[in-house]
Amino acid sequence: MHRETRAANYVLASFTIVSLTLLSFPLAGPVRAFEAFAGYVLDPVAYYGAQGVTRFGGIPGRLRDLISADIENHRMEDQVKGFQWIKQEAESLRIENARLRAELGLKAPRSKRDVLWASVMERDPMRWYRDIRVQAGSNSGVTLNSPVLGRLGGHLVVLGRITEVRPKTSVVLLVSDELSSVAAYVACASSGTAAGQPPRGVEGLLQGEGGARLRLNYLSPDAEVRLGDLVYTSPTSTTFPPNILLGEVSRIFPRDPFLTSRSVEVRPALEASRVKEVMILKQSAATAAKLEATARAAMGEGGEEDSEGAEARP
């Protein structure tokens, strides 16, 4: 017989005997000891294999995230380049606007304001449509009458104004409060706006009613207002920046022949109960002091209040 064949037969016989022994005495002591020993030797394969699978299993996901982040980064860099141009354009427009205002003798617009984001920390169920308390106070630079805006999608929406300031908290008087009023205008669909210009329409005074709806009063009786028309803050507003969304016309009251104006009901663009974070536009100290003095003087003299409700709460 060939030498290699003979050796193969011996090996086969040996392994067969070992295998049959293992098969025949699965519970015998030596077999169990062998099993335990072999398991001890081979266990690391499974253990480190599982560790490796766990460690390397997340690589595709992380790689995908990394690639998408890189793509997004490039896209945002391009956007930033575009924004630089827009910023430059806005700056030149601002300069031109100031020059034209000066030539026409118009009041200069309010200087640039700092922005402060604050979390809503408290809502009183008894005063649901009246005010909310936010987690920012005088320590953060919040002053009385600072406008408070909310975010709806990608747009800013008016929520109210600061009426009480403490070191770490402030109270926001909502536009839906009965004591709140904002100079506003309805961007009538029929008014026809020039391209690139903010919509202009019929001016009025938006007042809260202590409920879910607002009322826009003192509109011209000839105004062509339709349901769904949007309401924005007026450029004549002393507190709020112009052209910030307030809501939309939800009801048109019939004309009263005995009144010289008409009113519409407005649904607020953003319910204050859904807001978790607000944006406070900080005012310069001089402006804040001036506004506060005006409000105090108006109240002290008991005379006419400002067109916009800025009085203290009763």
Partner 1 sequence: MRRYARLVILVAAAMLAQWWWSSHGMLGGVAPQLLLVLTIIVAARHGAIKAMVIGFFWGLFIDLMSARLVGANALALTLVAYGTGLARRQVDLLGIEPQCAIVFALTPLYFLFWGLLGLLFSGSFLWVGWRSFLFDPFYNCLVAALAFLLWDPWVEGKPR
Task: Write down the least CB distance from residue 67 to partner 1, Å.
Answer: 24
Q: Give the residue, chosen from 4, 103, 301, 304, that forms a contact with partner 1 under the rule CB under 8 A.
A: 4
Q: Is 239 exposed, middle or buried (0-12, 13-18, 19+ CB in 10 A)?
A: buried
CB-nearer residue toward partner 1: 9 or 193: 9
| Binding span for partner 1 by CB under 8 A among 30-38, 105-113, 133-141, 269-277 | 30-38
Rounded CA gap, 284 and 292, in Å? 12
Task: Write down the least CB distance from residue 30 to partner 1, Å.
Answer: 12
Angle at alpha carbon of residue 296, lines to 121 and 279, rounded to 5°: 30
Task: Write down the least CB distance from residue 11 to partner 1, Å.
Answer: 5
CB-nearer residue toward partner 1: 39 or 82: 39
CB-nearer residue toward partner 1: 57 or 196: 57
Task: Write down the least CB distance from residue 29 to partner 1, Å.
Answer: 14
| Binding span for partner 1 by CB under 8 A among 7-15, 158-166, 168-176, 269-277 | 7-15
The tokens describing 267, both together, are 């649904």
CB-nearer residue toward partner 1: 15 or 83: 15
Number of residues that bind partner 1 (CB under 8 A): 24
Closest Cα partner for 214 from 295, 167, 160, 254?
A: 160
CB-nearer residue toward partner 1: 19 or 68: 19
CB-nearer residue toward partner 1: 8 or 312: 8
Cβ atoms of 178 and 220 within 8 Å: the answer is no
Closest Cα partner for 145 from 314, 299, 307, 289?
A: 289
CB-nearer residue toward partner 1: 14 or 236: 14
**19 part of the interface to partner 1, by CB under 8 A:** yes
Task: Write down the least CB distance from residue 13 to partner 1, Å.
Answer: 10
Closest Cα partner for 127 from 182, 181, 172?
A: 172
Distance of CA 149 to the CA centre of its chain: 10
Cβ atoms of 131 and 173 within 8 Å: the answer is yes
CB-nearer residue toward partner 1: 19 or 88: 19
**298 part of the interface to partner 1, by CB under 8 A:** no
Rounded CA gap, 289 and 223, in Å? 37
Write the Ramachandran bin of 145: left for phi over 0, alpha for psi from -120 to 50, otherwise beta.
left
Task: Write down the least CB distance from residue 3 to partner 1, Å.
Answer: 11
Rounded CA gap, 311 and 254, in Å? 31
Residue 31-70 contact track with partner 1, rule CB under 8 A, x = bound? x---x--xx--x--xx--x---x-----------------
Closest Cα partner for 210 from 122, 130, 126, 311?
A: 130
Q: Which residues bind partner 1 (CB under 8 A)?
A: 4, 7-8, 11-12, 15-16, 18-24, 26, 31, 35, 38-39, 42, 45-46, 49, 53
